[in-house]
Amino acid sequence: MQVLEFESQSVVRNFICCANQYSYDLSDILIAQSAVVANCATALTFDKKASRFELFTMM
C-alpha cells in the first residue's frame, strides 16, 4: 500500500540534497529545485534571505 506519492521525485531528491548543504528556508529550497526542473533561469522573490540563493532574483 502506497502511503505518500510525490509529484516529482527528482525535485524531492534534489531538495533533500540541497537542504543538507544550505541554511535557507526549506520552502525556498523546494521552490528553487522546482524551478530548476521546469528549466527556469531564475525564480523571483521578495525575500531578502532567499535572494542570496543563486536560483533566486530579488524583485
Judge whether 56 and 41 are in contact, CB under 8 Å: no
Judge whether 43 and 31 are in contact, CB under 8 Å: yes
Number of domains in the chain: 1
Q: Give the pLDDT mean for 30-58.
A: 90
Whether 26 maps to a domain, the answer reads: yes
Q: Indicate the pTM of the whole model.
A: 0.73
**Residue 43 Ramachandran class (φ > 0 left, ψ -120 to 50 alpha, else beta):** beta
Q: Give the pLDDT mean for 22-44.
A: 88
Scanning the structure block, which residue is given the C-alpha cell 537542504?
19
Whether 31 maps to a domain, the answer reads: yes
Give the domain extent around 42.
9-58
User: Using 50, 70 and 90 to split pLDDT, how confident is the model at 30?
Assistant: confident
26's grid cell:
526549506
Whether 2 maps to a domain, the answer reads: no
Whether 16 maps to a domain, the answer reads: yes
